[in-house]
Structure 1
């Protein structure tokens, strides 16, 4: 018996981004061998916009045509990740020193370039209508569309966040993928 095609969506337990390394027309998209965790993920919200055009003539509506104009997503996460910033902006995280003076540093530079990446979020087991299952949502090709919210807050935690714009893969035309798993599967 096939899985039902309807489910609840409760909570998010993991979210990762993976650098897109190639997306040739007529070929296959390839991604980096390892993903970068978005630590303390709290929310992954996806929305889109649709343009609708109408054709009028003879004082009546003759036709209408609509198309997807864009897909966006935003993420909130509890912990700052230098590795995630490097994956989104480029650059590397540099580790130096020795205990008790170790350092980890990442810099945004004049040559930093926004990169394309895949973002994938997943519900916890039981976060879907399938008792031991989960739901994965993937945006296959996206890029930052707004500078991440970083910094500090007086007497409170600062919740980092970022926004992305998605485009379809040149290789397959895919924008978003949603997978319901009968048994929960970790994001690779």
Structure 2
């Protein structure tokens, strides 16, 4: 019997981003190793549909539409300098020795957003299959607003990230939703696109 194509979506347990190293038209996209998005709180995917109407003879003759934009937002609870480095042309440097070690993220003038893949998943049982899960993957994203960094008075600061997703030039892959009968971890190895 085939697996159901309908499921609940409960919680988010893990999220990783993968730097997009290459995406040649007609070739194979390549990704770097996955980087954990620490303390993932939510993964929301939304989009816009552009509608065009053909009018004439004092009436509506036809209508057509196209998906014009897909975005993903993924707030997370902890700051990761490695995530920032994967989102924007920047550097992370470690220095010093205990008890004076430092790690520093630096962005300089001319920094540009970098493309990446993002994958998030529910915990085991976050789908209708008791031992299963659900994965959402967007294959090529670029930051659409600067990450929400800083501090909050007498409270924790949530890091806010938002990106625009576009199809891969190599394969046209855009968004995947995968329902698994048995839960699977997000594979973090550097890989070619499917």
**TM range, normalised to the smaller chain?**
over 0.9
The CA deviation string for residues 76-133 of structure 1, in whole angstroms up to 9 with x for no partner, is: 1000000000000123321111111111111111142210000110000000111111
Which structure 2 residue ranges, 5 or more long, are not aligned?
188-194
SS state at 1:12 partner: coil
Which residue of 2 is the match for residue 36 of structure 1? 35
Number of matched pairs: 187
Give the Cα–Cα distance (whole angstroms) in 2 for the partners of residues 36 and 92 of structure 1. Answer: 15
Give the Cα–Cα distance (whole angstroms) in 2 for the partners of residues 112 and 37 of structure 1. Answer: 22
Give the Cα–Cα distance (whole angstroms) in 2 for the partners of residues 112 and 36 of structure 1. Answer: 20
- Say if 2:138 is the partner of 1:139: yes
Give the Cα–Cα distance (whole angstroms) in 1 for the partners of residues 15 and 101 of structure 2. Answer: 28
- Say if 2:81 is the partner of 1:82: yes
SS state at 1:129 partner: coil
Q: How does 1:25-174 map to 2 (within 5 A)?
A: 25-32=25-32, 34-174=33-173
Give the Cα–Cα distance (whole angstroms) in 2 for the partners of residues 25 and 5 of structure 1. Answer: 32
Give the Cα–Cα distance (whole angstroms) in 1 for the partners of residues 111 and 185 of structure 2. Answer: 31
Which structure 1 residue ranges, 5 or more long, are not aligned?
none
SS state at 1:140 partner: strand
* TM-score scaled by length of structure 1: 0.97
The CA deviation string for residues 4-59 of structure 1, in whole angstroms up to 9 with x for no partner, is: 00010000000000001111111111111x11110000011110000001111222
- Give the ranges of 4+ consecutive aligned residues of structure 1 lying more than 3 Å apart after TM superposition: none
* TM-score scaled by length of structure 2: 0.94
- Say if 2:5 is the partner of 1:13: no
Give the Cα–Cα distance (whole angstroms) in 2 for the partners of residues 148 and 91 of structure 1. Answer: 14
Tell me how large the CA RMSD over aligned residues is: 0.9
SS state at 1:90 partner: coil
Q: Is the 8 A contact 2:91 2:107 kept in 1?
A: no
